[in-house]
């Protein structure tokens, strides 16, 4: 198994541009989530999904959209990039029930100029 994969690894955007961060998992996990990690702020939940077709907002959802059309994929869309969205983005997945161990991808580093 490849586990949780994320693309791209690094991206530079200009303010106002849009882009999609890709996340895929091959473990047949029901649950998937997106986090951002910022210095001094730790990891914060952006959006999450408990199954195909079901998504909900986390702690910091503004400026981001998600969809979950398949079990395997959970893309994160930046609608109009802002410098405040400069961060490292992590995707995670897990089975729906106990124990709930979360498996993380390697991350995408995003720089918005």
Is 87 a binding residue for other proteins by CB under 8 A? The answer is no
CA 38 – CA 1 distance, rounded (Å): 29
**Residues in 32-51 at the binding interface with other proteins, rule: CB under 8 A:** 32-33, 35, 40-45, 48, 50
Helix, strand or coil, per DSSP, at residue 97: coil
Q: Tell me which residue of 2, 18, 7 sits closest to 91, measured CA to CA.
A: 7
Quick one: which segment of 17-25, 62-70, 75-83, 91-99 binds other proteins (CB under 8 A)? Answer: 91-99
Cα 21 to Cα 2, 33, 93, 97: the distances in Å are 18, 13, 15, 26
User: Which residue, 43 or 82, is less far from other proteins as judged by CB?
Assistant: 43
- Chain residues binding other proteins by CB under 8 A are 4, 31-33, 35, 40-45, 48, 50, 58, 90, 92-94, 96, 98-107
């Amino acid at each position: 198994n490849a586990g949780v994969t994320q693309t791209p690894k690094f991206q530079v955007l200009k303010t106002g541009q849009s882009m999609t961060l890709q996340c895929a998992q091959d473990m047949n996990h029901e649950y998937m989530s997106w986090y951002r990690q910022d210095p001094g702020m730790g990891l914060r939940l952006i959006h999450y999904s408990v199954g195909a077709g079901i998504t909900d907002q986390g702690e910091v959802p503004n400026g981001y959209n998600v969809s979950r059309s398949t079990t395997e994929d959970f893309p994160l869309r930046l609608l109009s990039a802002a410098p405040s969205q400069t961060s490292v983005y992590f995707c995670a997945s897990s089975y729906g029930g106990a124990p709930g161990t979360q498996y993380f991808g390697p991350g995408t580093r995003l720089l918005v100029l």
